[in-house]
A = this chain, B = another copy of it.
Amino acid sequence: MKVTAQKIADLIGGRVEGNPGAVITHLAKIEDAGPGSITFLANPKYTHYLYETKASAVVVNEDFKPEKKVDASLIRVNDAYKAFSDILEFFHQDFPQKTGIESPSFIHPTARIGKNVYIGAFAYIDEQVVIGDNVKIFPHVYVGAESQIGENTILYPGVKLYHQTVIGRHCIIHAGAVIGSDGFGFAPDRENYKKIPQIGNVVIGDNVEIGANSTIDRATMGSTVIRDGVKLDNQVQVAHNVEIGENTVIAAQTGISGSTKVGRNCQIGGQVGMAGHIRIGNNVRVGAQSGIVNDVPDNEVLIGSPAINAQLFRKASVLFKKLPQLYEDIKQIKRKLGLK
């Protein structure tokens, strides 16, 4: 894309100070920005970069007063951070969008496909599947029988949906994610294990994003449920019959065991593990690598394995490092007191 500083100023309701014809080809962080790039300054900590930058244009706040000469054209707006997010969106939309049905693909005659849909080559749509308008299904996607996909949802290459999976509107499922695989359920049977059939499904709400190579198992019966607005990072594991509440965000490589319920608006760090059959409240925050083994009330902030209050964890961690010294202290005290 090639665009002038003035065109971007118009887009974000800003005012150019400098050369309105400066040509912009890409976006960059202020510390990396070179000729042809547009960047932004919102955090005063980065102001010093402004006086050295080779960027062609910099978005700044209306009230910003430079203390030295600036080579770049400035675009003044009310909120530089928010305006730059709009520029990201603008550049992002520039990338060509696919539509139509590529060949060869496999679409069962009983499947119902909405309007303005993209179905890539080598995609597989099984019987009785229902696909909403404006859905994009990339190559190598598998949509099992009787699944439903809401409008405007994107399934990136190689997503696998087992049968009867339900996905809402405006969702994004990244490459390699597997949704609806069997829950890990076995009943001991003498020396062996007998598989417990997994006849439930997975139901995903609207505006959900699921990261690359994440896995969500179907329920034994009933549904594994991911509610509206949930964001899962890459390589997250969600076991059978789990429920995750609205707008909860979970970082990469976290795993949630069977039948656990996670509340709304939680923030869960990466590589966290949660035991099965527990209940996590709303607005809970869990630090990376924590292990949650018990129910957690609303608004808690936890870290550690097993997880404890985050402040307490930090204090105790500092003292963990001092254990060798504490041990020597106790030895010395015992000697002094004549204790064994």
**Interface residues in chain A, defined as those with a beta carbon under 8 Å from any beta carbon in chain B:** 26-29, 32, 85, 88-89, 91-92, 95-96, 102, 104, 106, 120-122, 124, 138-140, 142, 144-145, 156-158, 160, 162-163, 172, 174-176, 178, 181-182, 184, 186-187, 191-199, 207, 209, 211-213, 215, 217, 220-222, 229, 231, 233-235, 237, 239, 246-247, 249, 251-253, 255, 257, 265, 270-271, 273, 275, 288-289, 291, 305-306, 308, 312, 315-317, 319-324, 326-327, 329-330, 332-334, 336-337, 339
Further 13 A-B residue pairs, CB within 8 A, beyond A193-B231, A271-B271: A85-B197, A88-B197, A95-B199, A124-B157, A140-B140, A191-B247, A192-B229, A211-B215, A213-B213, A235-B237, A252-B255, A320-B320, A333-B333
Residues A158 and B140 in contact, CB atoms below 8 Å apart:
yes
Q: Which of B28, B207, B247, B330 contacts A329 (CB 8 A)?
A: B330
**Across the interface, which residues of B come within 8 angstroms of A337, CB to CB?**
333, 336-337
Q: What copy number does this chain have within its complex?
A: 3
Q: Which of B195, B255, B326 contacts A209 (CB 8 A)?
A: B195
**Across the interface, which residues of B come within 8 angstroms of A124, CB to CB?**
120-122, 139-140, 157
Q: Which of B160, B209, B253 contacts A237 (CB 8 A)?
A: B253
23 examples of A-B residue contacts, CB within 8 angstroms: A104-B104, A122-B124, A124-B157, A156-B162, A158-B160, A172-B182, A174-B178, A181-B211, A184-B234, A191-B229, A191-B246, A192-B207, A251-B257, A252-B255, A270-B273, A288-B291, A289-B305, A312-B321, A312-B324, A319-B323, A326-B326, A329-B334, A337-B337
**Across the interface, which residues of B come within 8 angstroms of A249, CB to CB?**
186, 193
Residues B221 and A28 in contact, CB atoms below 8 Å apart:
yes
Residues B308 and A288 in contact, CB atoms below 8 Å apart:
no
Query: In the assembled complex, how far is the CB of residue A199 from the closest CB belonging to chain B, in whole angstroms?
Result: 5
**Across the interface, which residues of B come within 8 angstroms of A246, CB to CB?**
191
Query: In the assembled complex, how far is the CB of residue A66 from the closest CB belonging to chain B, in whole angstroms?
Result: 23
A92 CA to B194 CA, complexed, in Å? 14
Residues A92 and B197 in contact, CB atoms below 8 Å apart:
yes
Residues B192 and A27 in contact, CB atoms below 8 Å apart:
no
Residues A222 and B289 in contact, CB atoms below 8 Å apart:
no
**Across the interface, which residues of B come within 8 angstroms of A213, CB to CB?**
176, 178, 213, 215, 235
**Across the interface, which residues of B come within 8 angstroms of A32, CB to CB?**
222
Residues A255 and B229 in contact, CB atoms below 8 Å apart:
no
A75 CA to B316 CA, complexed, in Å? 55
Residues A270 and B257 in contact, CB atoms below 8 Å apart:
yes
A317 CA to B288 CA, complexed, in Å? 18
Q: Nearest 4 A-B pairs (CB), nearest first?
A: A92-B197, A142-B157, A178-B212, A319-B323
Query: In the assembled complex, how far is the CB of residue A57 from the closest CB belonging to chain B, in whole angstroms?
Result: 14
Residue among A120, A160, A211, A275 having the largest count of chain B Cβ atoms under 10 Å: A160
Query: In the assembled complex, how far is the CB of residue A174 from the closest CB belonging to chain B, in whole angstroms?
Result: 5
Residues A305 and B308 in contact, CB atoms below 8 Å apart:
no
Residues A231 and B174 in contact, CB atoms below 8 Å apart:
no
